[in-house]
Structures are given as C-alpha cells and as structure tokens.
A and B are shown apart, each in its own frame.
Chain A
Amino acid sequence: MSRIVVQEDRCKGCLLCTTVCPVNIIVQSDRFNVSGYKVAEVPESDAEKCTGCASCALICPDVAIKVYRTPKTKGGK
C-alpha cells in the first residue's frame, strides 16, 4: 500500500493537491494547524487507494508532502 505523509505545520490548505490526485482521495480536513490553515488529508477509509504517483507532492508549493510507494506484488498481495 502506498501512502502520503502531509507535514501539517507546513500545509497552507491551498488544496492544489486535491485537484491532481488521480483517485481523488485527498480532501480538506476539519483540523486547523498552528498557522490557522485547514490542512489536506487522506481519510483512513480511502488510504488504501493511494497509488504513490506523487502528483500531489509535485504540485505542493510548500513541499509538505512525502510519498512512500510500495511495489505491487504479483497475485494481488
């Protein structure tokens, strides 16, 4: 399962990442960070859909997203 890690104190809630996600799993959360921005997040229920494409990280102006990719194993495991 690939995943992203949003560094919440850097996120400015611009939501550019939400527009480029090919599986549309990034959304604005209800939490505020220390700067008062509502940060982007991937809800627990959608976490497994992440493909690790890194588009969100590529467009993030604040370099707030790290992407971890797990290579697909054959046989669906």
Chain B
Amino acid sequence: MSEINEKLVFDKPEIIIDRATHYCPGCHHGIAHRLVGELLDEMELGGNTLMTTSIGCSVFLYNYLNVDAVEAPHGRAPAVATGVKRARPDHFVFTYQGDGDLASIGMAEIMHAANRGEKISVVFVNNTVYGMTGGQMAPTTLIGQKTTTCPNGRCETTQGSPIRMTEIIASLGGVAYAARGSLDSVKNIRTAKKHLKKAFECQTNGTGFGFVELLSGCPTNWKMTPLQANERIQNDMIPYFPLGVFKDISEDGGIC
C-alpha cells in the first residue's frame, strides 16, 4: 500500500549528465555541480546558458552539465565570459572557477570583470589548495596548512596571508551581489543554494555581477578522510572565511 503513495522527492537534476564524475571520494565539486544544475533547471535556463569553465579539477565540467560551454585559458574565464556575454547578451553566462584559477593566475581578470560590473555570474569554489596539479599552495591556503610547496606549513611572514576573495570583490563598484557559503553541512548547503540563486537572479534581471564563494573540501590533498575534511571546514576555514552576504544591492537586502 505504502509503495503506491510514495513520491520521488530527490533525484538527479535533469541537466546533470548521468555519468560518474572523476572527482575523489568526498570532493565537494559534485555538490557544487548539483546546486548549479538544480538552479539552472528551476530557473529554466538550461537551453539558454553559456558556461565558461576554467582550469583545475573542474576542467571537465562540460562532461557533467548538459549546457553549451567555452573552455577558458587558466584564470581567464571572467574575461572570456565578458566577451561571451557581450556577444550573446540574451544568454545566461556563468563561470565556474577554483581558487588556484580565480584567486591566483586569474586575479586580474576577476577584479576587472567585477569592477566593470559585467552581467555575468561567478561560482568560486575555494578549497585552499591546488587540487588537480597535486596539492600546491594556493593564495587561499590557510596559515600553517601543509602543502607540497610549503611542507612546513604556510608561513605568514614569507608567504603572506590567505586572500579573502569575497570581501575584496564586495568592495568593488560594479558588483551587485557577493556572498560566501559552505558545502560542509546540510544547513550550509541549503544556504549556499540561496546565495547562488540570488547571484543568478542578479544576471537574469539585469542587476549586474554576481559572485558566490563556496568553501569546499579536498580530502586527498589535505591528506584527510572526507569526514575529517568536513570537520576542518567547520573548525579552521569558516572562522577565517566568515559565511554570509557581503554585498547585495537589490532592494530586499540580504537573505541571511
């Protein structure tokens, strides 16, 4: 009897391609992909989207999301997306970048795209390390974190402090929405989806540049189990990278 009444309440979004990802067990890229996919489905943007992907672990994003894509050179996704959006202003254009891509080699591109107020959306996945290339130090690597290029832990005096991208982006004039979410718990994932939705809406209603940073785990390069990696996000990353909305120029203000 109960089988007749049951409803499928959670399934893969239609836009996500049905195949196994190449990500390590416990990698949060899969969650970020799913959130983006769910929103593209819910906002009915699927057939009207041009995605600009980056270099990093997320380089194969076009294998997992069934939308048209442009593969940008390392760090240059916001510059490429600028061109794409200006050539096809009727399309929804977003970039999906990691911290090695956006905060290091692509720092100039993201800063100027944000400052110009390009009407694009940026999904920034911050896992404090270069994932694909084998775990080197990134600009966002926390003080004391051991990586292959700082085996004794990042030292503030010689290597500087981790960059808080969302705060920097929020201070620029052209930005409509800048927020930071996390993918370590159910509650934070739900909030992160609201941030992404708001950023995407900034583009669809023509308000301007939307930026969402997602704190995510990299168990392999942190040399942890997926469960330990989630605890690290909670205990080490969130205190340094506070969650919340840092800029929102829409009328109804912040959502958290």
Interface centre among A14, A55, A66 (most CB of B within 10 A): A14
Q: Is the interface of B mostly helix, strand, loop or mixed?
A: mixed
Do the beta carbons of A70 and B5 come within 8 Å of each other? Answer: yes
Selected from A15, A16, A70, the residue in CB contact (under 8 A) with B2 is: A70
Selected from A1, A13, A61, A69, the residue in CB contact (under 8 A) with B30 is: A61
Selected from A12, A19, A37, A65, the residue in CB contact (under 8 A) with B10 is: A65
Do the beta carbons of B8 and A68 come within 8 Å of each other? Answer: yes
Do the beta carbons of B186 and A58 come within 8 Å of each other? Answer: yes
User: Which residues of B sit under 8 angstroms from A3, Cβ to Cβ?
Assistant: 6
- Scan A1-31; emit 1 where CB is below 8 A from any B CB, else 0: 1110000011011111001100000000000
User: Which residues of B sit under 8 angstroms from A60, Cβ to Cβ?
Assistant: 30-31
- Scan A46-57; emit 1 where CB is below 8 A from any B CB, else 0: 000000101101
Q: Interface size (B, Cβ < 8 Å)? A: 31
Q: How large is the interface on A (under 10, 10 to 19, 20 to 34, 35 or more residues)?
A: 20 to 34
Q: How far is the CB of A62 from chain B (nearest CB, A)?
A: 5
Instruction: Decide if B29 is an interface residue (CB 8 Å cutoff).
Output: yes
Do the beta carbons of B6 and A16 come within 8 Å of each other? Answer: no
Known: A16-B226, A19-B230. A68 touches B23 (CB 8 A): no
Do the beta carbons of A20 and B185 come within 8 Å of each other? Answer: yes
Do the beta carbons of A62 and B2 come within 8 Å of each other? Answer: no
Do the beta carbons of B9 and A52 come within 8 Å of each other? Answer: yes
* A contacts, CB < 8 Å to B: 1-3, 9-10, 12-16, 19-20, 35, 37, 52, 54-55, 57-63, 65-71, 73
Given contact pairs A20-B185, A71-B5, enumerate 9 new A-B contacts (beta carbons under 8 Å).
Answer: A1-B6, A12-B24, A13-B25, A16-B230, A19-B230, A59-B31, A70-B6, A70-B7, A73-B5
